[in-house]
Structure 1
Amino acid sequence: MKNLFLILFVLVSTFGNAQNVGVNHANLSNGIAVQGYDVVSYFKENKAVKGKKEFSVKHNGAIYYFKSKENKDAFIKKPSAYEPQYGGWCAFAMGDYGEKVEINPETFKIVDGKLYLFYNAYFTNTLKSWNKNEPTLKAKADSNWKKITS
């Protein structure tokens, strides 16, 4: 019985911590993910589309907006398929120097079925830099993100 209690305690603690890590490290604006852009549209339309408050859902402490009920339902069915990498922070910055940097939600790339967002302002488009060395930057970004969230 003690072992069962210990296992349940560890599972509950781990699950709770995983959710808190997401909220604590996500790029949110007033609790809203990806500045209100519809994360499903990146995949379905290959473009950035603003979502609507009426089609919103809260997931792991973040509020996601969608342009339609269909997109909202697709997200609810499998959120991990649509959530942006690195908590919605700039993928290039995460790979290049391991920092959380704001993004322009209209500058994105889908790689291996995952959404990557990038900073693009003041004559700096980090997607261009990412494309020059994507495999190395992606591996470094993955490693840096693990360090930040552990």
Structure 2
Amino acid sequence: MTESTASARNRKAFHNYEIMEKYEAGIALKGTEVKSIRDGRINLQDGFVRLIKGELIMMNVHISPYSHGNINNHSEIRDRKLLMHRQEIDRIAGKLSKAGLTIVPLAVYFKKGKAKVEIGIAKGKQAYDKRESIKKRDIQREEARYKINL
């Protein structure tokens, strides 16, 4: 994801899940959806990915209708197919067979003119895990402040 800036990031995913692995996938989109994503009008917060009949389907991702669109505009929340190689899908399917793992979209960005989504195999965090990660982040901030003041 270093080649281009993200159109949208799912910051809530990093708070609610422990990300085990990351993958890059293409998205099967309609024309007005691409334009809306370029405008940054996409919400990944409640999104998730399911493995259905050997295909990865991204669900609950909200892409606002294109402002200059017409009656052919897309529906806001629809299932979108993710484009990956069969080997990668099989590898992900094998890892999902373990209990407690899910796939969440982490970011959407453009790479060489194509819309890409960064997905992560994730495990849900418990409340005490979330508090622990917040404490670690606060300690790192304090250390950074201390180093700056020296």
Regarding TM over 0.5, the answer is no
TM-score by length of 2: 0.31
Structure number having the greater strand percentage: 2
Ranked by relative contact order (alpha carbons within 8 Å, sequence separation 6 or more), the top structure is: 2
TM-score by length of 1: 0.31
